[in-house]
């Protein structure tokens, strides 16, 4: 089984590229937001925990998200692997993912990191706000906070995965097809 981590700053095109990656390599896409909604809709114990926290305006703790991901690994059949999108975002989450996979003598296959400069992040997110009517993407302060959070909390994962030689950086500048070709060139190695 292959386990890919899709990585990059907000607006890098992860969602756009994930669909093609899933189709080409027979992967199951695990987006943490979609996973939370699925578990809540199914009324699972983890979903009920998450729903209660979300309704109170609290963040869902790592342990709950990790439990959902582990459950997804165990329950999804008929795929060649998983594409994790939105998890891990911090070093403790990366360590937890390693521990979950180690239980079954598995490990992260590769981290595919789509990188773009901060100015392009701002430009793309503002464009998405106009196109999709997303108010949360319209404020420069909110966008700047998301960029800062990415740099402070998520970017340290680059070194974490680089040390284990699982980090593969993709230039995210270009057409969707150009970026997709770069991603496929990396993934074809696995």
Catalytic residues: 14, 89, 128, 134, 146
Is there a contact between 78 and 28 (Cβ–Cβ < 8 Å)? no
**Cα dihedral across residues 142, 145, 151, 156: positive or negative:** negative
Is there a contact between 3 and 163 (Cβ–Cβ < 8 Å)? no
What is the Cα gyration radius of the chain? Answer: 17
**By three-state DSSP, how is residue 4 classified?**
strand
DSSP string of 159-181, one letter each residue: HHHHHTT-EEEEE--S-HHHHHH
Half-sphere exposure for 115 (CA within 13 Å, toward CB): 12
């Amino acid at each position: 089984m292959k386990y890919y981590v899709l990585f990059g700053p907000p607006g890098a095109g992860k969602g756009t590229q994930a669909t093609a990656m899933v189709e080409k390599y027979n992967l199951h896409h695990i987006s943490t937001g979609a996973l939370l909604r699925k578990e809540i809709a199914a009324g699972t114990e983890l979903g009920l925990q998450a729903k209660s926290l979300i309704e109170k305006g609290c963040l869902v703790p790592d342990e709950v998200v990790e439990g959902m991901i582990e459950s997804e690994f165990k329950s999804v059949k008929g795929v060649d692997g998983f594409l994790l999108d939105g998890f891990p975002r911090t070093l403790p989450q990366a360590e937890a993912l390693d521990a979950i996979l180690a239980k079954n003598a598995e490990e992260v296959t590769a981290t595919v990191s789509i990188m773009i400069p901060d100015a392009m992040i701002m430009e793309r997110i503002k464009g998405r706000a106009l196109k999709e009517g997303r108010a949360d993407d319209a404020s420069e302060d909110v966008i700047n906070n998301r960029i800062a959070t990415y740099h402070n909390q998520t970017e340290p994962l680059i070194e974490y995965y680089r040390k284990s030689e699982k980090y593969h950086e993709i230039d995210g500048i270009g057409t969707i097809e150009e970026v997709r070709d770069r991603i496929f060139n990396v993934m074809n190695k696995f």
